[in-house]
Amino acid sequence: MTPFNKPYLTGREAPNIAEALAARKLSGDGPFTKRCQAMLEGLLGSGRTFLTTSCTDALEAAALLCEIEPGDEVIVPSYTFVSTANAFALRGAIIRFADSYANHPNMDPASVAALIGPQTKAIVPVHYAGVACDMDALAELAEHNSAQIVEDAAQGIASSYKGRPLGTLGDYGAFSFHETKNIIAGEGGALHVNRADRVRQAEIVREKGTDRSAFFRGEVDKYGWVSLGSSYLPSEMIAAFLLAQLEDIDAIQARRLAAWYRYAAILEPLAQEGAIELPTIPAYATNNAHMFFLLCPDLETRTALLEHLKADGIYAAFHYQALRSSPFFADQAGPDTPHADRFSHTLVRLPLFAELGEDEAERIAHSVVHFFKR
């Protein structure tokens, strides 16, 4: 059975973890954490990066930094993972769900424009599949309405918008290093702060609401509780694992991209015939090969395709159920999100991981072709 995902190991993860254990420095903000943060800042080119225990925690920290209060409105895409909305709902925000484009799951700025208003405190674009949202259009909406932007770049490492890395285009960016992502640490994430005036507060939020980081720098003679916050620091073992991955990011990306483009080459004729739809990459965006997805004509076809692939020894999967239609939010006011609902019913994700290889991608793609040609 070809798995849907297989975590990639560079070979340096275990030695790094052994080094952290030998040093007896296991809690957060040790030398491995600092090296990871420095590498990420180099990759992103601006701002400050703080490792977190997950992208969910990074989003929750961003909600605190945005000073979200009960009654504030936050616009998120309907087609996303629950953490995107949950991070702000936990602060008492009223969640407004934007629809996707007709041809891509990313948040449609026209849908955001119809939702934004005086109570909007933040807009949270999700760069689905590592493909950038239209950040200029969203930034214009945010500026005109005095709203902040928090980029959910969970899938966006090593991808960009008009030459600028994802996660650096809003006030804050959140990344994931879950084992299903391009660069992994099992669990783990990062908060990227693009506002110099909020770096100190980000340190405080991440350190349980204390000025502990300032204390260790000798800036205060003792530390105490100065703000709301939580415990968002990952252990040194997580950072040690992550460092090995970051050091191999170019090789990992090359492997993933090779498989992605093999899929695309074989399935393009099927798309031209109208049997399926394939991902679109806007001119302003790059492709980091986080995932390869296709759209079936309807739910019945998708169900049958997944069963066919499983019988052929291939584990494929569908993805999110649109949050606007979820049991938790279904009774709340707001417009429907028909495009997001369509992706919930028709989208199929094919296996994609660094060790997949072009030959296996070719086998999987031909299995898809066979299903539609039979």
Determine the average pLDDT of the residues in 153-158: 98
Tokens of 146: 């005095």
What's residue 261's pLDDT? 98
Q: What's the whole-number average pLDDT of the chain?
A: 96
- 3-state helix vs strand vs coil in the chain, percent to 5: 40, 15, 45
Question: pLDDT at residue 180 above 70?
Answer: yes
Residue 156's Cβ-count burial label (10 Å; 0-12, 13-18, 19+) is buried
Q: How many CA atoms lie within 13 A of 350 on its CB side?
A: 30
The strand pairing partners of 295, in sequence order, are 277, 347
Three-state DSSP state, 39: helix
- Residue 49 one-letter amino acid: T
Q: What would the DSSP string read from start to end of 193-232?
A: E--GGGHHHHHHHHBTTB-HHHHHTTSSSS--B-S---B-
The phi and psi torsions of 12 (rounded to 5 degrees) equal -100, 0
CATH topology of domain 13-247: Aspartate Aminotransferase; domain 2 (3.40.640)
Question: pLDDT at residue 347 above 90?
Answer: yes
- What is the value of pTM for the model shown? 0.96
What's residue 100's pLDDT? 98
Question: pLDDT at residue 19 above 70?
Answer: yes
Question: pLDDT at residue 119 above 70?
Answer: yes
Tokens of 84: 């995107």
CB 262 within 8 A of CB 362: yes
Question: pLDDT at residue 215 above 90?
Answer: no
Question: pLDDT at residue 115 above 70?
Answer: yes
Question: pLDDT at residue 219 above 90?
Answer: no
Determine the average pLDDT of the residues in 115-125: 97
Element (H, E) at 17: helix 13-23
Determine the average pLDDT of the residues in 257-262: 98
Beta strands at 292-295 and 189-193: parallel, antiparallel or unpaired: unpaired
Q: pLDDT band for position 220 (50/70/90)?
A: confident
Q: Find the Cα–Cα–Cα–Cα dihedral 351, 355, 358, 364, rounded to 10°.
A: -30
Determine the average pLDDT of the residues in 310-337: 89
Question: pLDDT at residue 305 above 90?
Answer: yes
Q: Count of CB atoms within 10 A of residue 226's CB? A: 15
Which one is the CATH code of 249-373: 3.40.50.1100, 3.90.1150.10, 3.40.109.10, 3.40.47.10? Answer: 3.90.1150.10
Rg (CA), the chain: 21
Q: pLDDT band for position 333 (50/70/90)?
A: low
Enumerate the domain spans of the chain. Answer: 13-247, 249-373
